[in-house]
Amino acid sequence: MYILNPITLTPAMFTSNNVPVNDYAVWNAATNYTIGTKVIRTTTNKIYRNLIAGINATLPENDATRWADEGYVNAYKMIDDLSASQTDYLSINQTVNVGASVGALAFINMSGTELTITATNNGAETIYSKTISLDDSAVTSVYDWFFEPFVQKKDHFEIDFPEAYSNPIINYTITDVSGNNSKIGRFMVAKQYQVGYTQYGSTIGIRDYSVKSYDANNIAYLNKKGNVKIMTFKLILDQGETNRVIRLLRQLLSVPSVFIGATDDGYEYTIAHGFYQAFRIPLQTPSYNYCELDIEELI
């Protein structure tokens, strides 16, 4: 199993971003705003919603009583902690100057047909280049070849990024040949850690947050809400790595990370962007230990 521990990205680290920052009008100190009006600040690249009507010259990011912070603008939603809030544009092309060595990349909750990744060593020689099809259709026959509909590959990771470079500049592009907008919920550059080996007996399920309610006539209605993937991984750890794994898991408490149960093609369902709720390590043998890791997806 691999855990990707993210490096925090900020809008200032992006040297290019083709997604325009035009979600709402730019905040103006002289404007008389009504309650509920939304504005953007190009300095913070965030959206703010008015809570108190009137004119006030205090910057929205410095006045939480008057302005509610509603998160990043569309161009930078892919660096917030939630994978459900997507950057959405016809074709997404972004370049980030990480300023630190990284060993893995993750792209979560995508829409599109192709992902292209390139990276240079501080703008000099190319150190990484890949093109990935986002078609996850299962073609097992001639009939499937002609008639199987496009199935979106939503999540993708790379754990072979060259970590020896201390200042990689990474560019990625998501395109959709059908002409629909491309989307991405979470772009992550990360340190990667291998945590034991996933065993059979691990479980994957779905937790639905929809609520069933009844009206005065006792008729049932379903208030449909989101759902998350929940997983329990059974891992086997060498005795010598158990201390390291416990230290890592304590470090990752409440840190949104990417968990990868199996790296082989076809096992993408073992990927989750989320956090772990608990882990248990029964001490059973002198040579190795078993670990159970409970993970909940973050939407």
- The predicted-structure confidence for 17-57, as pLDDT tens digits, reads as follows 999 999 999 999 999 999 999 999 999 999 999 999 999 99
68, burial (CB in 10 Å: exposed 0-12, middle 13-18, buried 19+)? middle
Q: What is the percent of the chain where pLDDT is above 90?
A: 84
Task: State the pLDDT at residue 145.
Answer: 66
**Whole-angstrom Cα distance, residue 27 to residue 252?**
37
Helix (H) or strand (E) holding 183: strand 182-184
What tokens appear for 299 in the block? 């939407």
Task: State the pLDDT at residue 140.
Answer: 67
Is residue 169 within 8 A of residue 97, CB to CB? The reply is yes
The answer, yes or no, to whether residue 265 has pLDDT greater than 90, is no
pTM: 0.91
Task: State the pLDDT at residue 283.
Answer: 86
What tokens appear for 136 in the block? 């996850």
For the stretch 133-179, pLDDT in tens is 999 887 667 676 667 788 899 999 999 999 999 999 999 999 999 99
pLDDT band at 185 (very low <50, low <70, confident <90, very high): very high
Task: State the pLDDT at residue 137.
Answer: 81
Task: State the pLDDT at residue 266.
Answer: 83
Q: What is the mean pLDDT of the chain?
A: 94
Mean pLDDT of 7-16: 97
51 Cβ neighbours under 8 A, 6+ residues apart: 35, 65, 66, 67, 68
- Range name among 35-49, 135-149, 233-247, 281-295 with the lowest pLDDT average: 135-149
pLDDT band at 70 (very low <50, low <70, confident <90, very high): very high
**Whole-angstrom Cα distance, residue 61 to residue 210?**
34
Q: Are strands 227-238 and 197-198 parallel, antiparallel or unpaired?
A: antiparallel
Contacts 24+ apart (CB under 8 A), 53-59: 55/29, 55/30, 55/31, 56/29, 57/29, 57/30, 59/27
Rama region for 283: left / alpha / beta (φ>0; ψ in -120 to 50; rest)? beta
Rounded to 5°, the CA angle 147-152-156 comes to 140
DSSP state of 181: P
Task: State the pLDDT at residue 148.
Answer: 73
Which ranges of the chain does DSSP label H, i.e. alpha helix?
Answer: 142-147, 242-251
The answer, yes or no, to whether residue 284 has pLDDT greater than 90, is no
Buried b (16+ CB within 10 A) or exposed e, 138-153: eeeeeeeeeeeeeebb
Amino acid 136 reads D
For the stretch 195-222, pLDDT in tens is 999 999 999 999 999 998 898 888 998 8
Bridge partners for 234 per DSSP: 292
What tokens appear for 188 in the block? 């992550």
Q: What is the percent of the chain where pLDDT is above 70?
A: 97
The answer, yes or no, to whether residue 6 has pLDDT greater than 70, is yes
